[in-house]
Each structure stands twice: as C-alpha cells, then as structure tokens.
Structure 1
Amino acid sequence: MNNPTRVAIITGASQGIGAALVAGYRKADYAVVANSRSIGASDDPMVLTVAGDIGEPGVGRSIVEAALERFGRVDTVVNNAGIFIAKPFTEYTDADYDAITGVNLRGFFEVSRAAVAAMPQGGHLVNISTSLVDQANSAAPSVLASLTKGGLNAATRSLAVEYATRGIRVNAVALGIIRTPMHGDHEYDSLAQLNPQKRIGELDDVVDAVLYLENAGFVTGEILHVDGGQSAGH
C-alpha cells in the first residue's frame, strides 16, 4: 500500500496525555494507531484503535502489524503508556514489579523493535519519561519509576546513536506533574510546589513538546524536560 500520509502509533491513548496526543497528531494530519488495554473504536477513519495490554508478550508487535495492514507504514511511535506506583522501596510487591516493568519496559521494547524494523524511510521514537529520574523526591518514593524510566532515557540515547544514519530519530520527554486523571483536584496545590514555576503542567504542554520534537529534524538523543523547572532544582 503506497500511502503518503504519515502514521503515528500512540500507546496509552484512551485518556489523559495519550488522548491529547492522538488529537495533536491528527491536527498535524497524521493517521494514528491508538492503543490501550480497553480502548474503544473511533469514529475517525484515520484513527485505528487497537486494544491490548502492551505489557503482554506479542501485543507490541501486533500493534505495528495492525498499523501496516491499515495504513501501510509507520513513521512515529510515542511510547506513552506507563504505570506509576509511588511506594517506599520495601513495600513494593512482586506483582508491582511485574506490572511496572511489563508496561514501561516490555511495552516500549516490543512496540519500538517492531516499528523500527518497519521504518526503511526513517522515522521517530518518542519515549515519555519522568523528571523523578533526575530529581528524586522523598515525598514521592518511586524507585520502580526511576528504574524503568531511567532505563528508557538511557535507551533513548543509545538508539539515537545506533540509528542516526538510517534517518531514525529517538527522543524522550521527561514530565513533571501534569493535570491528568492520575491525580485528584485536591492534590494540585501541593503538587504545584514541586517545581519553580509553582504550577501544574497541562496536556497542551506535553503535546507541544512532543510535536516540537516531531518537527525538529536535527534533534535526536534528547531528554526534553517538561516539568516547570523541577529537574533544574529548587
């Protein structure tokens, strides 16, 4: 299928940041393949929804195969799906470990591996990370987030170097506190104090950052912090 329309795969796409990214990429005239565990069908013929848990073996590959079958190409993958559980280290369970590493690492690995193999024309990977990797906070103990998202930051740089001459760019967006269904409204006043700007990030802040990277052809291997200065210090 010879399709000139660029195609983006977005994981964790049913709500919050993922849903905003779907809208942002559609506004940029991309076809979108949207994945989450229980995502419903879309009325937009240029949005293909693929339900499935990317923490499960084989699901990542099936998402890429669905994109190729419907649209004939893959240009971008935004690895947005993630699990965040804040607990003291010794309170994490084996089930927590399996769930977090499954989505945050296996999900990234399987989707990205299959997508890169389908990008002979070049392409772009964007990994959604967290500023807690760089600026740990005792008020939010989250070693499994740092373990997995820190790994994604390292993989971002490694893949950027490995695939630079093939025209595939790889970047990450490290987020601070963003207004999403993950947090209750009563939490935002205190959460805003975690960054120098003293405000909560909005969904548009994330979409703007990802689309900046999408259009920044000379930027690769970058960990772009979208956190109100949280990673810079206090």
Structure 2
Amino acid sequence: MSEVGVVFGGSRGIGRAVSQLLAARGHRVAVISRNLDAAEAAAARLAGGQHMALCCDVSKPEEVQKAFQHIHTTYGNVRYLVNAAGINRDRLLLRMRLEDMVSVLHTNLLGTMLTCRAAVKSMLHRQGGAIVNIGSVVGQKGNSGQCVYSSTKAGLEGFTRSLAKEVASRNIRVNLVAPGFVRTDMMAGLDEEALVRGVPLGRFGEPDEVAQAVLFLLEAPYVTGQVLPVDGGLRLAM
C-alpha cells in the first residue's frame, strides 16, 4: 500500500538514501531540502513518479508549517517522517561564534522538534505513523571540538524518548538512529585512514547502510523510544 513519507535533508547523504528506499517500497516521498534544486534533482531520480520536492529551512516554524500544508494538500496525511537535516560548525567552544551556536541548535534540535510537531498532527488524522530522527554516536560519547553539535544530538535522544511516550497511545512510534562515521558530505575532508583505526569493522559506513536501519525502525510495529547505533562498533572502542 502506498504511504506518504517525508524526508527532511532528503537531497543528500543518509536522507537521500532513505528517500530511495521508501520510493523503492512504492511510497510517495516528499524530498525536502534548503536547496530546492538539490531536492528536485534527488526527487527526479527516485523510483516511480509520484514524488515531490520542497524547499524548507527547518529552523523556521513558518516554513515547516507551509511545507506540511503543501504535503497535506497534495498527498494527504503523513505516515512516515525522517529527520536527516543537520549542520555542523565544529570548533572548540571558546572559539565558537554565538551565531554559529544558535544556528546549529536551531537546525539540528529545534528544527526536528518543529517537523515532529507538524507530522504528529497529520499522523493523528490517519491514526498512526512512524518517525525516525537521525542522531549521532557523538551524542552519546561526546567529542572534542563538537560541544554544540554533540549537545544537539544528545538532545535528540531525550526528545525522541519523551515524544515516544507522549504519542504511543495514538499508535505513533518515534525512534532514533545514531550513526558513526558515514561517508557523506559532512565527513568530507576528514582523515578517513586514521579514523577507521578506531572502528572495529575497519571502515566508514555508507549512507544506504544507515538507511536500512531507518527503514527497519519505520516499519517495525512494536519498536518505539529506542536508539539504534549504526556505527560499525565505534562505541565499543570509545
């Protein structure tokens, strides 16, 4: 049965891989990015032809509301939401500009809260749904130079569990995937050869490998409020 899936950050990396899996399952996908051209290009490459591309800055409530209004008008109520939109401004805390701190907090944490709130309102009308937020292993273990970024990812864990409790009685499930080192644009420029020495599986992950875990949580009917690490065993070595 075709359902409606909304993927924020769906034009690249993990979000694009999730969009591809949902489309391959026969679902209608709304690919959402701050860059409309990138969203349109990603949506055009999806299997099937009933997909849409939207431009939205998740840190702005009015843009999130507008996006969901358009999705509801075009597709109806949402079944799946994946929050893969995120930014990093890595720097030691004492050297980080206030505006960069606010930008990371608003995009990674507040933005997810805003999209979840809008999605839950839609899911209540269809009496069920599933949300997967994308966290990070640094949200669990921390990392020097990533105080703000890791705070947003740790915050997503508390938010995910709390929201899962709030909406479970309405048959809405909320989970989080915590990737480790995954070969995406965000990891570009890092010393992969040095970093993989700390990964028990001995390599970076691929976006589609994380997407498989996301799809599992979207479809698993008796799993909610959980954090699923997809890190090649990185946490074992941290």
**Deviation, structure 1 residue 185:** 6.6
Q: Which has the higher helix share?
A: 2
Given candidates 67, 73, 94, the residue that maps to 1:69 is 73
3-state SS in 1 of match to 2:5 = strand
Whether the 8 Å contact between 2:86 and 2:108 is mirrored in structure 1 is: yes
Deviations 1:168-202 (A, max 9, x none): 00000001010112233772212212322221011
3-state SS in 1 of match to 2:17 = helix
- Separation (CA, whole Å) in 2 of partners of 1:233 and 1:155: 26
1:82-121 matched pairs, under 5 angstroms = 82-120=86-124, 121=127
2:16 counterpart letter in structure 1: A
Is 1:14 aligned to 2:11, yes or no? Answer: yes
User: TM-score of the superposition, structure 1-length normalised?
Assistant: 0.92
Q: 1:122 to 1:15 in 2, by over 3 A?
A: same
- Separation (CA, whole Å) in 1 of partners of 2:55 and 2:231: 30
Alpha-carbon RMSD:
1.6
* Unaligned 5+ runs, structure 2: none
- Separation (CA, whole Å) in 2 of partners of 1:203 and 1:173: 12
What's the counterpart of residue 58 of structure 1? 62
- Counting matched residue pairs gives 229
What's the counterpart of residue 27 of structure 1? 24
Q: 1:115 to 1:230 in 2, by over 3 A?
A: same
Whether the 8 Å contact between 1:9 and 1:33 is mirrored in structure 2 is: yes
Whether the 8 Å contact between 2:128 and 2:170 is mirrored in structure 1 is: yes
What's the counterpart of residue 200 of structure 1? 204
**Deviation, structure 1 residue 61:** 1.5
What's the counterpart of residue 166 of structure 2? 162
Q: Which structure 1 residue ranges, 4+ long, deviate > 3 Å from structure 2?
A: 42-45
**Deviation, structure 1 residue 54:** 1.3
* Unaligned 5+ runs, structure 1: none
Is 1:215 aligned to 2:219, yes or no? Answer: yes
1:124 counterpart letter in structure 2: A
Whether the 8 Å contact between 2:139 and 2:152 is mirrored in structure 1 is: no
Whether the 8 Å contact between 1:122 and 1:166 is mirrored in structure 2 is: yes
User: TM-score of the superposition, structure 2-length normalised?
Assistant: 0.91
Query: Which moves more between the two structures, 122-131 or 42-51?
Result: 42-51
